[in-house]
């Protein structure tokens, strides 16, 4: 896995875990980024990743992750040890793995990777519910109508300036609560399958040319459309972020880094470039979706939920970016606007994204 962190003496608790698991000790380890306490041991052979879950809902997240057997679904690193008392998971490492996020920015996340991932996710969704029946179900991050209308002052007082701007964007649209209510009601009534529950491109590692899905802390019984919609939403979000760059379609500038600097775009130029960027990434969306439907057929109702979750994903990314931001760049506000448009008309957006129902993909 690509990282800029340096090796440190292995923490004592990591050495204890390795000993309890019967795994080789390691004098040094590299800390990895993320919400948990995670270390990768440094050894010529059998290097492992040791993760101790911390923060909110850590026991529920541990139960979900430990329940993922890896017998079905996309490739995933092998779970070598799980300690319910310490809330520690130990996984095998992937040699020379690169994150999906890096490959996406470098334009080297291929349609073939998307196809393999689509088929793997479909296989996960076809798996038996017995494996996850006893773990806490994942909850999609769609806010309530009340939250989109008004938030308690005690909560708002803890927000960053960026979060205040983001929630103002959400709460300024009087129709958004209705769109989100429709989505919550539709997903609550949907059939349950095993799901990853947090399928984003930064949850994918690529090693030896194959995609591996990691971080199964939201794994459980849920609406399969949340997984597929979140994944498709990642590509729509990337298309928006690419508007001022030359990535994907060559529509850029003569700047060495291919990014427009200190140059305002007209509304027409933003629309033109946005359409071109999405057109450039649509083959990746279609590759994932066609491979998914070849394994697991879907109906029109599920396609509507997939598209709506793709729209919500753009708003969710807005909130995630705002958490540590003092202000929101225009591109993130534009992404939020596109997300709201998708939520307002999921059926129409499905056609635009290449998700329309065909006879081959029908149930």
How far is 248 from 324, CA to CA, in rounded Å?
28
Contact by Cβ (8 Å): 229, 310: yes
Q: What is the rounded average pLDDT of the residues 188-193?
A: 96
Domains present along the chain, CATH in parentheses = 8-96 (3.30.200.20), 138-191+223-361 (no CATH)
pLDDT digits (tens, 9 = 90+) for 209-268: 999 999 999 999 999 999 999 999 999 999 998 888 877 666 555 455 555 544 566 777
Which helix (H) or strand (E) segment holds residue 31: the answer is strand 28-32
Q: What is the pTM of this model?
A: 0.90
Tracing tokens 């205040």 back to the chain, one arrives at 164
How far is 184 from 96, CA to CA, in rounded Å?
40
pLDDT digits (tens, 9 = 90+) for 142-164: 988 888 888 888 888 889 899 99
In the predicted model, is pLDDT for residue 100 greater than 70? Answer: yes
Longest dimension (CA), the chain: 62
CA 145 to chain centroid, in Å, comes to 23
């Amino acid at each position: 896995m690509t990282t800029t962190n340096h090796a440190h003496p292995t923490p004592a608790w990591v050495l204890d875990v390795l000993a309890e698991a019967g795994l080789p000790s390691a004098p040094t380890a590299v800390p990895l980024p993320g919400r948990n306490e995670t270390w990768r041991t440094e050894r010529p052979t059998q290097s492992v990743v040791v993760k101790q879950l911390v923060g909110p809902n850590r026991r529920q997240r541990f139960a979900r992750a430990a329940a993922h057997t890896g017998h079905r679904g996309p490739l995933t690193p092998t779970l070598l040890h799980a300690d319910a008392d310490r809330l520690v998971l130990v996984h095998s490492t992937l040699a020379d793995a690169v994150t999906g996020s890096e490959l996406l920015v470098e334009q080297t996340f291929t349609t073939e990777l998307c196809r393999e991932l689509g088929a793997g996710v479909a296989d996960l969704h076809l798996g038996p519910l017995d494996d996850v029946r006893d773990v806490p179900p994942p909850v999609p991050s769609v806010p309530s109508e009340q939250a989109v209308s008004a938030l308690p002052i005690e909560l708002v007082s803890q927000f960053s300036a960026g979060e205040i701007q983001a929630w103002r964007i959400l709460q300024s649209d009087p129709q958004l609560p209705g769109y989100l209510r429709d989505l919550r009601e539709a997903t609550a009534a949907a059939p349950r399958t095993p799901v990853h529950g947090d399928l984003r491109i930064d949850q994918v590692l690529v090693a030896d040319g194959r995609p591996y899905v990691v971080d199964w802390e939201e794994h459980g019984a849920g609406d399969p459309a949340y997984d597929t919609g979140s994944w498709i939403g990642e590509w729509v979000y990337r298309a928006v972020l690419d508007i001022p760059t030359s990535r994907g379609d060559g529509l850029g500038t003569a700047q060495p880094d291919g990014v427009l600097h200190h140059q305002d775009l007209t509304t027409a130029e933003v629309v033109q470039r946005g359409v071109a960027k999405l057109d450039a990434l649509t083959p990746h969306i279609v590759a994932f979706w066609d491979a998914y439907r070849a394994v697991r057929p879907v109906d029109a109702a599920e396609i509507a939920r997939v598209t709506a979750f793709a729209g919500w994903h753009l708003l969710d990314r807005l909130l995630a970016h705002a958490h540590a931001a003092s202000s929101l760049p225009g591109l993130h506000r534009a992404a939020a606007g596109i997300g709201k448009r998708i939520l307002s008309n999921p059926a129409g957006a499905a056609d635009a994204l290449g998700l329309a129902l065909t006879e081959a993909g029908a149930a």
